[in-house]
Amino acid sequence: MNLQPYLNRWVIFGALGFAAILLIVTLIVIGWMSPRFSPDVGFAPADLTMIPAPTHTPNVTAVSTTDPLITPTLDPASINIDGYVQITGTEGEGLRIRLAPGLGGETVFRGEEAEVFIVKDGPQSVDGYTWWYLVAPYDETRAGWAASDFLAVIPSP
């Protein structure tokens, strides 16, 4: 069988041209039929709302009772041992918590505005201020003396 007459340059170029046209038509059809891909945005801007911490808690007043079986309680409007206080009135600067009561006591750390503490000791009057020993309920290493002028009594949780 002699294939020489069928393998001339016109047949080869025609076959390659026909294959190229089929390839182009296939790519065009695939491009029209495939779904469009949209790339990710990368990042989306988010709205951020800053909610300031409360600066004070209203004082709770005690209601007197005549029931003799109820033991007298401490005044909830004043600072008491094992009561909860919140730092207030520092204009966002925070309050120096000291190693010892008094303005000369070494600052251990700075309590943030609206931070809550438990009163563990006091009062002691030094340098014209009344000082209370405070401990953070979530971290006992955050403890020290603070002036009562910057503390507000809050109800225990």
For the segment 19-46, what is each residue's pLDDT rounded down to a tens digit? Answer: 999 999 998 888 777 766 665 656 656 6
pTM equals 0.53
Closest CA to 120 of 138, 136, 104, 106: 136
Q: Which residues contact 155 (CB under 8 A, 6 or more apart)?
A: 57, 60, 76, 84
Query: Would you list the domain boundaries of the chain?
Result: 4-33, 84-154
Question: How much is the pLDDT for 72?
Answer: 45
- The pLDDT of 126-130, averaged and rounded, is 93
Could you tell me which residues are beta bridge partners of residue 111?
95
For the chain, what percent of residues have pLDDT higher than 70? 75
CATH class of the structural domain 84-154: mainly beta
Q: Specify the amino acid at residue 35.
A: P
Q: Residue 61 burial (CB < 10 Å; 0-12/13-18/19+)? A: exposed
Closest CA to 91 of 52, 62, 117, 120: 52
